[in-house]
Structure 1
């Protein structure tokens, strides 16, 4: 601190602090009121920090107990993954005094977590690092057939929430600046396309990506592909996969690699090899499209590993290691059909390490793993409610 006091404030804030990784700024904010306001309320500083600071990539896991837990890599060994302290957020409308918000689904975008409760009747957009929260009531009142995604557009990052119905292709947009919902035009989805119930979505450079099924020009054959929702045009655009998938695969998952690329995991049949592909880099404005794919892993997982359409994964492209989450209904060992949570750590030689996180009888959570990047990102202040929350990692 003494060194910083000897330097001009502009130099410290504009050149030094903007290059410090977000997690290290957490402690600095408590030493100085000016810095605390800078880290938690200055959107211009947040944009500069996003551009200049080194990004930290964390893995998060949503458990069947409706809790978000960081996945920690012990001593740099993937075989030592463990869950640490939960990321918790107080529920402002609890059924019981002091209850925490039960997260039924979670979506990451730009350092924010969009956390939906298990019946999809309300959600919160939360930055665990800064403590920012915005509580929102879905216009439809909530339904298990609904999905939500967070995105943005423009240099100043105008954030929006997309609400969609599986199989029905009904879209609505929530505007943070006005605290209102509005219906998106009928041309948002290409004709003949449909989003499945099991589709897990991800965000990259402000756009949302998820798997959907479509039909060819003759309308006689269906196939699987990615769809990209552009929050500036509010339209879905098909993204071709590395190869044509005319039959529904055993597993098809999408993930994000270091906030720069997309990655897809494709397993055509249970007994076939599993392939993991990575796209070209998407630029900071999100204008670069997916034009090429490179296969980074070809794994022979059978019979060591069984995937399902609800799987999710994280990829370390450099080390050629993939962390895959699956949830199975353990009918043989458990008469109550509890869900069993497993993580498979698969290396390039197809060597599989299985981590069993036990069974849970809490239904309704869309469990899985996801990438998270701590950020100082700020949002518009109009509308909604704001409340501070602790970041406990």
Structure 2
């Protein structure tokens, strides 16, 4: 009698190419051969080719997978959108009661920060491997982190602490140890720590310079200028690079909101909207991105007030905390929350450069503070990197 283990290798590999990331546990438990194969090659490549975007999001202190299929939007006589599928991903060897406050991504790895600041948990979701990293000294609630690698593909962790602006801590995977590095960044106090994302091994943060002057004849201080920048932490040199320009010009010295994301694996995307023109959203993508240089091109600019059915109240409150883009479909998926009298919902808003708009209710936010979800990684690509425990 023929069994699963007797299937030809070519057929098994074709089956593997269609397996979604969230079904790995079931496949690995099928037989020892399949378990071994799954740890030597990447599943799901054909799902990626179909543009079924696999996003990772932290919601209600848990890491979730969120799959979007945008192929049917704008197609007549077709259902406009395949509803997104969200699933919580169980972390191996971790108590389900452990709450995660933030997650950082690089190269298929996730760095999870527990709310109790007990340590850092490194996780390869594809291989199902975890590793706890203990602090050199006590972690603080306001610490920020980034995950990256140097030119030799040696992975590292950056730790920034607002209480110590003259030094940074770097954890080196190869030596399994922390070291403190002198930070000569003259603008360290102006970094927006929580904005960081990793791209091509380096970490990028927003940086803001605010100019303040005293109002004549009073003791009041006035904001006379705001300039936003991008800063790169280079994991090879273990130094911050120069301030890099952002592509938009502020219409007045008033604050705006920004969000940083990815365009596949080799570009950054930045979302911008100014409080004076809150109904207009701009998204730009990098055409060149290096630690000391960047150039930009417009992805789209949308006036949300022209979209039918959107109220002024919605536009005033709309501040997407994270997003991803589909360059082929020319749409962005923006994540925000929707509040009713009884609960708060996690929402995804699909916006096109031609005025296309669709809202998708992902689910109820159940945490006591009604904190919305945050995108951890867009278009997640698994990794075969082994964690040395």
TM-score by length of 1: 0.73
5+ residue gaps, structure 1: 6-11, 386-393
In the other structure, the counterpart of 1:253 is 259
Identify the match of residue 196 of structure 1 among 172, 192, 195: 192
What secondary structure is seen at the aligned counterpart in 1 of 2:323? strand
Q: 1:142 to 1:80 in 2, by over 3 A?
A: farther
In the other structure, the counterpart of 1:297 is 300
Q: 1:351 to 1:186 in 2, by over 3 A?
A: same
In the other structure, the counterpart of 1:8 is none
Alpha-carbon offset, residue 210 of structure 1: 1.7
Query: Within 5 A, what are the aligned runs for 1:27-176?
Result: 40=39, 57-63=53-59, 65-74=60-69, 76-77=71-72, 79-92=81-94, 94=95, 99-155=96-152, 157-166=153-162, 169=165, 170-176=167-173
Contact 2:92 2:130 in 1 (8 A): no
Deviations, residues 149-188 of structure 1 (Å, cap 9, x unaligned): 1100124x1001111124854521111222221212121x
- The CA distance in 2 between the partners of 1:371 and 1:281, in whole Å, is 19
- The CA distance in 2 between the partners of 1:364 and 1:116, in whole Å, is 19
Contact 2:54 2:68 in 1 (8 A): no
* Of 172-181 and 53-62, the range deviating more from structure 2: 53-62
Identify the match of residue 323 of structure 1 among 313, 324, 333: 333
Q: 1:28 to 1:62 in 2, by over 3 A?
A: closer
Q: 1:208 to 1:339 in 2, by over 3 A?
A: farther
* Structure number, greater radius of gyration: 2
RMSD over aligned CA atoms reads 3.8
5+ residue gaps, structure 2: 1-5, 74-80, 212-223, 306-311
Q: 1:29 to 1:76 in 2, by over 3 A?
A: same
Query: Within 5 A, what are the aligned runs for 1:227-266?
Result: 227-237=231-241, 238-245=243-250, 247=253, 249-266=255-272
Q: 1:146 to 1:91 in 2, by over 3 A?
A: farther
- The CA distance in 2 between the partners of 1:168 and 1:108, in whole Å, is 24
Q: 1:194 to 1:119 in 2, by over 3 A?
A: farther
- The CA distance in 2 between the partners of 1:315 and 1:119, in whole Å, is 33
Deviations, residues 243-277 of structure 1 (Å, cap 9, x unaligned): 35584643101101111111000101253411000
Contact 2:346 2:372 in 1 (8 A): no
Tell me: higher relative CO, structure 1 or 2? Use CA pairs within 8 A at least 6 residues apart: 1
User: Number of paired residues?
Assistant: 344
Higher strand proportion, which one?
2
What secondary structure is seen at the aligned counterpart in 2 of 1:349? coil
